[in-house]
Amino acid sequence: MSNRDRPLSPHLQIYRPQITSVLSILHRATGVALVAGLLALVYWLAAAAAGDAAFAAAQGFLASWIGRLLLLAWTFAVFFHLANGIRHLVWDMGRGFELKTVTASGWLVVAVSAVLTLLTWVAAYGLRGSGT
């Protein structure tokens, strides 16, 4: 990087966002978000092992509005990363690289993760009610 004036490849701010590029960075972002989710899961397991007081504190946090917001975000992140991860595995087999297919599979991933997120929360509230 000795010559700072040399031309650079298109910037994120200049390059028009496309379904391919947006989902690509979203895959990384949801992956990082799921690391936080993994920390929360291990905290929850440790609290369950520790005893009633620790577990009640963990459940209290997760049931708070900020806890529920985090859980909602993690639900979408897990389904998106899962669906888009399968899309990546198909690419690894050398399939689905046609532009039309890449666009279609991208929107399919978005639709599947949105629907599964909604279904999960409807099921969770339906099974236990909103009071708990």
Partner 1 sequence: MSASLRTALGRVRGLGSAGEGTAHWWAQRLTAIALVPLTLWFVISVVMLTGAGRGEVVGWLARPFNFGAMGLLVGAGIHHAQLGLQVVIEDYVHAEPVRVAGLMAMKFAAVLLALVAAVSLLSIFVRG
Contact residues for partner 1, defined by CB under 8 A: 28, 31-32, 34-35, 38-39, 41-42, 45-46, 48-52, 55-56, 63, 75, 78-79, 82, 85-86, 88-89, 92, 120, 123-125, 127-129, 132
DSSP 8-state symbol, 6: S
Question: What tokens appear for 19 in the block?
Answer: 């379904």
Between 8 and 49, name the residue whose CB sits nearer to partner 1: 49
Residue 41 corresponds to which amino acid? L
Question: What tokens appear for 110 in the block?
Answer: 């978005």
Whether the CB-CB separation of 28 and 115 falls below 8 Å is answered with no
Question: What tokens appear for 36 in the block?
Answer: 């936080």
Between 5 and 92, name the residue whose CB sits nearer to partner 1: 92
For residue 75, the minimal CB distance to partner 1 (Å) is 7
